[in-house]
Amino acid sequence: MHSPLAVENGTNLKPYNTFGLPCVARTLVRITSEADVRRLLGDPELGRAPKFILGGGSNLVLTRDLDACVLKLEVKGRALVETRDDCHIVEVGAGENWHDTVQWCLAQGLPGLENMALIPGTVGAAPVQNIGAYGIELKDRFESLDAVDLVTGRTITLTAEQCRFGYRDSVFKQHLAGKSIITRVRLRLPRPWQPVLGYLELERKVQETGITEPSAQQIFDWVCAVRRAKLPDPAVVGNVGSFFKNPVVTPEQCRDIIARDPHIVHYPMEDGSFKLAAGWMIDACGWKGKSIGRAGVYEKQALVLVNRGGASGAEVVTLARAIQESVYGRFGIRLEPEPVVV
């Protein structure tokens, strides 16, 4: 016998999004298994209602109440399911917290995720925008995932290739957006483990400490320290991390922008294109520390927009548009938001 679906009506989502934006969901259902999704789809009322998938709410800008059935991912469980010559495969429920999972893997002697420590949110949302930090993206540690089709109720398994991971992108931000709910993710942790240190701030830690061969735990501690110094804690100041993607441009576009401003921070990419530092451009336009209404630009990092207390989603969007316009006016580049705006 299954327990009945956990259904709530008129739920305030303010505690469930890290920006702390007000939003009332018509219905909220806690999803603890694939069977819960299928039971929901079989319900005469809930099955037909429009649906919205919610993880930890750390990549969302909620601008209105949701006249939808919000599916809050609470599928749990972590296990080492396979060991091959070159990797360990760990299967994790989509509702598990990402950072706790990084820590859990380390505690089991399964390193490989440490560069992505302290990224908020759930494991199920990690493939959605192919999360990444300090030189590693989810796609570098990904084996496959299970998702339930929200129309047919069928479970599908997708490989990395089928997820079409890109920079902060995947099929779940494109044609599968809102259509399939990720319930389980299998992570591929390399064997033997090799540290990934190419990133400037980690190189700096190597120089400062003289530790040239850090352990995975050491890298984890460095990443946590760097992030805590640089990013606001959502429990204290509402935010969603980086608000805009770093624009990727052709060599010709990059030359054109350097001609406008020779100091622009840019990084060459493997495919010959260049990534521009969005935070640097926003700072150059004078936005750091500024506010519109109760939404502001974080004092220590211009790429992060913050809730100065009681902001609405509309205020955040107004600020974001004003930033986009001034960056476009000065550099001819249209910044694209990283979070999902609802």
Q: What is the Cα gyration radius of the chain?
A: 21
Which CB atom, from 27 or from 239, has the smaller least distance to ligand FAD? Answer: 239
Q: Is 126 in the site for ligand FAD (CB under 6 A)?
A: yes
Contact characters 18-57, ligand FAD, x per CB under 6 A: x----------------------------------xxxxx
Q: Order of strands across the sheet with 6-12?
A: 6-12, 24-31, 66-73, 51-54
Taking the complex as a whole, the smallest distance from the CB of residue 251 to ligand FAD amounts, in Å, to: 26
Residue written as tokens 């580049």?
Answer: 333
Q: Would you give the DSSP letter of residue 177?
A: T
What are the tokens at 42? 């079989």
CB of 119 or CB of 249, closer to ligand FAD? 119
How many chain residues are in contact with ligand FAD, going by CB under 6 A?
32
If one counts every other C-beta atom within 10 angstroms of the C-beta of residue 98, the result is 26
Query: Where in 173-192 is the site for ligand FAD (CB under 6 A)?
Result: 181-182
Stretch that binds ligand FAD, among 39-47, 104-112, 127-135, 266-274 (CB under 6 A): 127-135
Beta strands (DSSP E) in 230-341 are: 238-242, 248-249, 266-268, 274-276, 291-292, 295-297, 304-307, 340-341
Q: What is the C-alpha to C-alpha distance for residues 268 and 14, in angstroms, rounded to an integer?
A: 40
Residue 181: enclosing H or E segment and its boundaries?
Answer: strand 180-190
Closest approach, Cβ 179 to ligand FAD, in A, equals 9
In the complex, minimum distance from the CB of residue 120 to ligand FAD, in angstroms, rounded to a whole number: 4
Q: Which of 40, 90, 128, 163 binds ligand FAD (CB under 6 A)?
A: 128
Residues 193-252 touching ligand FAD, rule: CB under 6 A, are: 231, 234, 239-241
Examine residue 125 and tell whether it contacts ligand FAD (CB under 6 A).
Answer: yes
Closest CA to 133 of 16, 230, 263, 18: 230
Nearest approach in angstroms of CB 126 to ligand FAD is: 5
Which 131-160 residues touch ligand FAD, going by CB under 6 A? 131-133
Task: Return the structure tokens found at 242.
Answer: 């980086």
CB of 338 to ligand FAD, least distance (A): 7
Any bridge partners for residue 142, and if so which?
187
* Contact yes or no for 118/223 (Cβ under 8 A): yes
Helix (H) or strand (E) holding 72: strand 66-73
Active site amino acids: 168, 242, 338
Residue type at position 142: F
Q: Cβ(115)–Cβ(134) under 8 Å?
A: yes
Assess 313 for contact with ligand FAD (CB under 6 A). Answer: no
Stretch that binds ligand FAD, among 36-44, 114-122, 273-281, 311-319 (CB under 6 A): 114-122
| Binding residues for ligand FAD (CB under 6 A) | 18, 53-60, 73, 94, 119-122, 124-126, 128-129, 131-133, 172, 181-182, 231, 234, 239-241, 340
